[in-house]
Amino acid sequence: MMLMTLGAIGAAVWAVVQVNSADQRLRIFDATQRRWRQVCSSSANELLASISCEEVGFVSDCESREVLTLLCQDCGRRSFAADRIVGGVDARQGSWPWQVSLQYDGVHQCGGSIISNRWIVSAAHCFPERYRFVNRWRVLLGSIYNKPVNANVAEVKTIVYHSSYLPFVDANIDDNSRDIAVLALTQPLTFNEYIQPVCLPAYGQRLIDGQMGTVTGWGNVGYYGHLADVLQEANVPIISDTVCNAPDYYDNQITTSMFCAGYEKGGTDACQGDSGGPFVADDCLSKTSRYRLLGVVSWGTGCAMAKKPGVYTRVSRFLPWISTAMRLLTTVMSPEIKLEITTITYEQHVEFKFKGSGSS
């Protein structure tokens, strides 16, 4: 049970909510009737339901659009504790069950993170024009190896990258802000001890300077090295924006949609091939230790260089964007509607152009 404010609905509303341990359904206490109610039933509504779940870092899924009952999926838990990312070590099987390998024509290109049974979060820059044939992408899950022999393989239905990721607008623009994308899978995943979603940050959750997090991936084990065969993991601290924007670091290139993590002396960092992968840290915001996706591997100068730490997309800045993308794309991805063009902007305004029935 927890006390939280549902500030995202326009006015702050204090509410006592609980997640029933038996069925994982979110309930809200109705003070007028002195009883617990399903959060999106009766006097509550679908918007309140979604926001309630998102506030505590879960991804929500309302099962019915008529009689609404909210099911909050579990997230950020792992069955196996962790025992080349440059300077990293081999991960154990099942240690990071949300990590996926995004492969184009069978070749690893980027990492990604499972956030629900149908959705993956990655980086926008993983999808330049030459890689935009969606049916040639595959998602490898449930393995520390980036080969399909020991992994589950999922097909991709849709890829949505942030429409204000400026390098896709003009290749000469040197601004990597809004480097985020989501992928919808053709079929829902079946979760097990090796395939699990990571939690998104809670609304209003702030990064803490010096906080340790873990970055994982199959990227190069050196700037001129080769891709790792086994998933690599490395622990690095979050660096303050002030330090990372100093002239000898990144000289004011770090915007509010990014953050840095690494060591002043270098030696441990993400590298080519780690892009789109997770930077996670555990906390007890929901009274149980869970890992939350604080960052997405985005860019950096070199790999593991002194005063040139890895730069990550700040996921907490894009919770409305992710939520809007998931909600609206779920609505339009029905068999009778063919999605032709998808554009999602950071201001939460979404435009769809359809071929067939439906309207924008």
Range of the domain at 254: 212-315
The model's confidence at residue 191, banded by pLDDT at 50, 70 and 90, is very high
- The per-residue pLDDT for 253 is 93
Residue 202: inside a domain, yes or no? no
266 against 7, higher pLDDT: 266
Rounded alpha-carbon distances, angstroms, from residue 134 to 104, 137, 206, 351: 9, 6, 34, 20
CB atoms inside a 10 Å sphere around CB 166 = 17
Q: Report the chain's C-alpha Rg in angstroms.
A: 20
The total number of structural domains that make up the chain? 2
Residue 117: inside a domain, yes or no? no
Which one of the listed residues 50, 116, 125, 162 is annotated catalytic? 125
34 against 212, higher pLDDT: 212
Statement: residue 99 has pLDDT above 70: yes
* 179 classed as catalytic: yes
Residue identified by tokens 């039933």 is 41
Residue 90: inside a domain, yes or no? no
Q: Which one of 31-35, 129-133, 227-231, 352-356 scores highest in mean pLDDT?
A: 129-133
Token pair, residue 336, equals: 């009778």
The model's confidence at residue 145, banded by pLDDT at 50, 70 and 90, is confident
9-13, 170-174, 212-216, 308-312: lowest mean pLDDT where?
9-13
Q: Which one of 9-23, 147-161, 307-321, 341-355 scores highest in mean pLDDT?
A: 307-321
Domain end point (choices 16, 50, 72): 72
* 286 classed as catalytic: no
Residue 253: inside a domain, yes or no? yes
Statement: residue 290 has pLDDT above 60: yes
Give me the count of residues in the chain. Answer: 360
What's the mean pLDDT when you consider all of the chain?
74
- The per-residue pLDDT for 149 is 72
Which one of the listed residues 116, 257, 275, 298 is annotated catalytic? 275
The model's confidence at residue 307, banded by pLDDT at 50, 70 and 90, is confident
Query: By CB neighbour count within 10 A (0-12 exposed, 13-18 middle, 19+ buried), where does 74 fall?
Result: middle
**Helices 319-332 + 46-55 axis angle, to 10:** 140
Angstrom distance (rounded) from CA 162 to CA 123: 9
* 226 classed as catalytic: no
Average pLDDT of 286-291? 79
Domain end point (choices 42, 72, 102): 72
Residue 222: inside a domain, yes or no? yes
Please check whether residue 199 is in contact with residue 282, taking contact to mean a CB–CB distance below 8 angstroms. no
C-alpha 115: how far from chain center:
6
Residue 280: inside a domain, yes or no? yes
- The per-residue pLDDT for 44 is 45
Output the domain CATH number for residue 261: 2.40.10.10
Residue 62: inside a domain, yes or no? yes
Statement: residue 231 has pLDDT above 70: yes
CB atoms inside a 10 Å sphere around CB 108 = 18
Residue 20: inside a domain, yes or no? yes
Domain end point (choices 72, 100, 133): 72
Which one of the listed residues 50, 101, 162, 179 is annotated catalytic? 179
